[in-house]
Amino acid sequence: MTTPRRTPLHAAQQQCHARFMDFHGWELPVQYRGIIAEHLAVRSDAGLFDVSHMGELWVEGAGAAAALQGLLTNDLGRLQVGGVQYTLLCNEAGGTIDDLTVLRPADSAYLLCVNAANTAVDWAWLREHLPEGVAARDASEETALLALQGPRAEALLQPLVAADLTRLRRFHCLETGALGIATLLSRTGYTGEDGFELFLPADSAVLVWDALLETGVRPCGLGARDTLRIEAGFPLHGHELDPRTSPIEAGLKRFVSFDCGPFIGRAALARQAAEGAPRRRIGLRLASRAVARTGYAILRQGLPVGQVTSGAFSPTLQSSIAMGYVESRVAAAGNELAVEIRGKPILAQARPLPFYHAPRA
Amino acid sequence: MEFPADLKYSAEHEWARVQNGEATVGITDFAQDELGDVVYVELPAVGSEVAAEATFGVVESVKAVSDLYAPVSGTVVRINEALQEKPELVNTSPYGEGWMIVVRMSRPEELEQLLSVEEYREQIGAKEG
């Protein structure tokens, strides 16, 4: 048995009565006071997540953009200095090695923020495929990542940071000071709300964590992070995405650019985009409160047509929702499907994603 | 955490309150706390038979799905319909409004197999008081 990995905020989280769970070898808080209360806090107020387990891979230098474009599906040419872009890392077959955000805080500095469970795989892939002379650095160990999410995030964060947050637009980033600590601040998140992600030196993250908690913001765990992202229709690698699932099937075609030059997987994805994928990711809203859990069968007129990849009771919609893959012929929104829960087919309507849109401020 | 002294407890974290040959059944404060927010409770139909130590339903929290085990055998004479719309009652009032079923006991001697509050506290490692 290996020792679980912990973030720099582990002790601070224990003080907040965190309950911990294993997440791909990490010991991380699943909840503090309760998943639903945390979920609702993010939707109506704000919540603070420690996501320091995520990986941070820097690619820098003159050849960085061209080299990265050879690996990523989205058009990196459209990523301005100070911008953030959601993109995917695919294998030759068009399967998804990882999904990630790329931050471009400076002209030739690119930060890939990747899933914790994939950091090692992504890093090995970069090392293998980036040409010599392109500098790459795995900064995951020395970087902490806090996510402050919710409609009050800007108001709560502003007093702690030097930058004027009203001028930082969604999917943009800048380098600033938080309590005087060098911070890469990004207006992004994984909850469907407005919010910020703060990349911090691991050894000073606890100062920012404590200062944010002092504003009254509620600490939130991975449980709420999961229910929030399901409502927002965001895929989670290992559930909606994996090396055998393409961004086309996942409904992420808008993050795949066929005009930006060759990248690994492009031929397979172009073929699939032209021919149509045999299966598609859909949303489901169930007629029962029972939770459609990962791996449950999706049925059409009693016959299996796919599988649930994530499901939750939605605290916002007060109903059971899920995502999954079904044969494309039955994927149209509005279709009456069913999820087999403990041997019984439970009515489930195919729904467009996301389930939840944040109200515009 | 609260464990009323007048209840009988099962090793699987159900409780039974016995009155006039009927046992009201729910899950303990410890169980609801371990589960976290309860979002769905599946109960048997009134009139169905349940057997001691066999499953009689399911409770789902955000995190997990767990079987419910009957502490005694008998016929289900009432179920808590309120849990359909308000499953969170299991969290907020595990021994009160969060009750689940009432069983007319067919083998009352099974009560002898259940745990006292002291024995249950010992099992879960809870401190007195």
Instruction: Examine residue A354 and say whether the peptide bond preceding it is cis (omega within 30 degrees of 0).
Output: yes
Least confident of A312-321, A330-339, A351-360, B28-37: A351-360
Residue B2 lies in a domain: no
Query: How buried is residue A355: exposed, middle or buried, by Cβ count under 10 Å (0-12/13-18/19+)?
Result: buried
Looking at chain A, how many residues does it have? 361
Residue B105 lies in a domain: yes
* DSSP state letter for B32: H
Contact between A209 and A48 (Cβ < 8 Å): yes
The pLDDT assigned to A1 comes to 56
Contacts of B84 in chain A (CB under 8 A): 289
Question: Cβ contact (<8 Å) for A289 and B40?
Answer: yes
Q: Which domain holds residue B50?
A: 8-120
Question: Cβ contact (<8 Å) for B58 and A34?
Answer: no
Residues A63 and A18 in one domain: no
Residue A275 lies in a domain: no
Total of domains in chain A:
3
Residue A124 lies in a domain: yes
Question: Cβ contact (<8 Å) for B60 and A291?
Answer: yes
The pLDDT assigned to B128 comes to 53
Domain boundary among A138, A160, A189: A138
Residues A146 and A132 in one domain: no
The pLDDT tens digits of the residues spanning A249-298 come to 999 999 999 998 899 999 999 999 999 999 999 999 999 999 999 999 99
- Bridge partners (DSSP) of residue B68 are B57
Phi and psi at residue A178, in whole multiples of 5°?
Answer: -115, 115
The pLDDT tens digits of the residues spanning B112-128 come to 999 999 999 999 997 55
Give CA–CA dist B124/A193, Å, rounded: 40
Give CA–CA dist B101/A199, Å, rounded: 51
- CATH number of the domain to which A31 belongs: 3.30.1360.120
The pLDDT tens digits of the residues spanning A103-150 come to 999 999 999 999 999 999 999 999 999 998 899 999 999 999 999 999
Strands A297-300 and A279-286: unpaired
DSSP codes of every residue in B39-104? EEEE-PPTT-EE-TTSEEEEEEESS-EEEEE-SS-EEEEEE-THHHH-TTHHHH-TTTTT--EEEE
Residues A104 and A122 in one domain: yes
Q: Which of B36, B65, B88 sits opposite A291 (nearest CB)?
A: B65
A-chain residue closest to B63, CA distance: A223
Q: Which domain holds residue A71?
A: 56-138
Residues A190 and A317 in one domain: no
Pick out chain B residues at pLDDT < 70: 127-129
From chain B residues 55-94, the ones with a CB under 8 A of any chain A CB are 58, 60, 62-63, 65, 84, 87-88
The pLDDT assigned to A30 comes to 97
Give CA–CA dist B109/B105, Å, rounded: 9
Contacts of B63 in chain A (CB under 8 A): 30, 35, 223
Contacts of A30 in chain B (CB under 8 A): 63
CA distance A33 to chain B (A): 9
The pLDDT assigned to B127 comes to 58
Residue A240 lies in a domain: no
Give CA–CA dist A296/A323, Å, rounded: 11
Question: Cβ contact (<8 Å) for A35 and B58?
Answer: no
Contacts of B23 (CB under 8 A, 6+ apart): B16, B17, B71, B72, B74, B102, B103, B105, B111
CB of B42 within 8 Å of a chain A CB? The answer is yes
Chain-centroid distance, C-alpha B7: 10
Domain boundary among A88, A122, A138: A138
CA distance B73 to chain A (A): 23
Residues A46 and A174 in one domain: yes
Q: Which of A288, A312, A342 sits opposite B62 (nearest CB)?
A: A312
Q: Which of A30, A31, A290 sits opposite B60 (nearest CB)?
A: A290
Contacts of A342 in chain B (CB under 8 A): 42, 58
Residues A173 and A103 in one domain: no
Contacts of A244 (CB under 8 A, 6+ apart): A93, A95
Burial per residue of A146-181, b for 16 or more beta-carbon CB atoms within 10 angstroms, e otherwise: bbbbbbbbbebbeebbebebeebeeebbbebebeeb
- CATH number of the domain to which B61 belongs: 2.40.50.100
Domain boundary among A197, A231, A265: A231
- In this prediction the ipTM stands at 0.89
The pLDDT assigned to B129 comes to 45
The pLDDT assigned to A271 comes to 97
Contacts of A227 in chain B (CB under 8 A): 62
Residue A132 lies in a domain: yes
The pLDDT assigned to B44 comes to 98
Q: Which of B33, B34, B37 to mutate to test the interface with A (most CBs of A within 10 A)?
A: B37
Mean pLDDT of chain A: 97
Nearest to B26 by CA among B62, B46, B56, B48: B56
Give CA–CA dist B55/A342, Å, rounded: 13
Contact between A103 and A79 (Cβ < 8 Å): no
Question: Cβ contact (<8 Å) for A313 and B58?
Answer: no
Question: Cβ contact (<8 Å) for A293 and B65?
Answer: yes
Q: Which of A31, A291, A312 sits opposite B36 (nearest CB)?
A: A31
Q: Which of A37, A223, A290 sits opposite B40 (nearest CB)?
A: A290
Residue the block writes with tokens 């895929």: A235
Q: Which of B60, B62, B88 sits opposite A227 (nearest CB)?
A: B62
B-chain residue closest to A294, CA distance: B64
Contacts of A33 in chain B (CB under 8 A): none
Q: Which of A31, A320, A342 sits opposite B58 (nearest CB)?
A: A342
Residue B97 lies in a domain: yes
Residue the block writes with tokens 């990542």: A145
Residue A361 has pLDDT above 60, yes or no: no
The pLDDT assigned to A93 comes to 98
Residue A309 lies in a domain: yes
Contacts of A293 in chain B (CB under 8 A): 65
CB pairs under 8 A between A and B: 41
